[in-house]
Amino acid sequence: MSIIEPTWEEVQKEILKIRCLDLKIWKDIEDRPLNCESIYELIGSGWKIRHANYIINGSYCYSHDKEIVLEKDIKYFERDINLFHEIAHAWYGEPLNDGFAIINYRRSKFIIAEYLARQSRVNKYLLRSAVLAFNLKPYVYDLVSYLAFPNKSYNAEVKPDFSAKELTKILM
């Protein structure tokens, strides 16, 4: 599994292993799910987004500054996954702090944050809430993003990964 960008299958396989560990974070996730209310609570407590020129892995979460830093040139799916990964760190705090995610225990925390990020990103309401609450530009690049932002058009750089037939079926 790569350190930078594990596939969804790799993340799921790792989560199955990690769930066997006695980590406090699973109780926190159950008791305080990452949802639209948590996004608004983060915003209300002062969390903000800052963009920077080049960031290893695309993003960071600075809890002491209540700041999520996103690489300014990342867009579309990659931007939204990085956003939710850092929102997971912000919401769950120290129990999910992964540092550079190289040591196995820290790697587990990275995988949990990545799992939460990918699960959150596929929720159209949560995607819409996070992007708008943090005053980010909405992007349409797949079916979920289309459903989150139905009045936005596709960017010519991005080929949507769903067919018109699939969209019609879901919207009917």
Digits of tens for pLDDT over the chain (172 positions)? 333 567 888 888 888 877 777 567 788 899 999 999 999 999 999 999 999 987 777 788 888 899 999 998 888 989 999 999 999 999 998 777 755 544 444 578 888 889 999 999 999 999 999 999 999 999 988 889 989 998 876 655 555 555 655 555 544 4
Phi/psi for 156 (5° steps) reads: -60, -20
pLDDT computed for residue 27 by the predictor: 85
Q: What is the pTM of this model?
A: 0.81
pLDDT computed for residue 45 by the predictor: 97
pLDDT computed for residue 153 by the predictor: 64
pLDDT computed for residue 123 by the predictor: 96
Strands (E) across the chain are located at 48-52, 59-62, 67-71
pLDDT computed for residue 41 by the predictor: 97
Distance (Å) of CA 129 to CA 30, 44, 94, 98, 147? 21, 13, 24, 25, 12
Q: 10 Å Cβ neighbour count for 142?
A: 19
pLDDT computed for residue 39 by the predictor: 97
Fold of 8-137: Arc Repressor Mutant, subunit A (1.10.10)
Distance (Å) of CA 67 to CA 50, 75, 90, 120? 7, 19, 8, 19
Bridge partners (DSSP) listed for residue 48? 67
64 neighbors 55 (Cβ within 8 angstroms): no
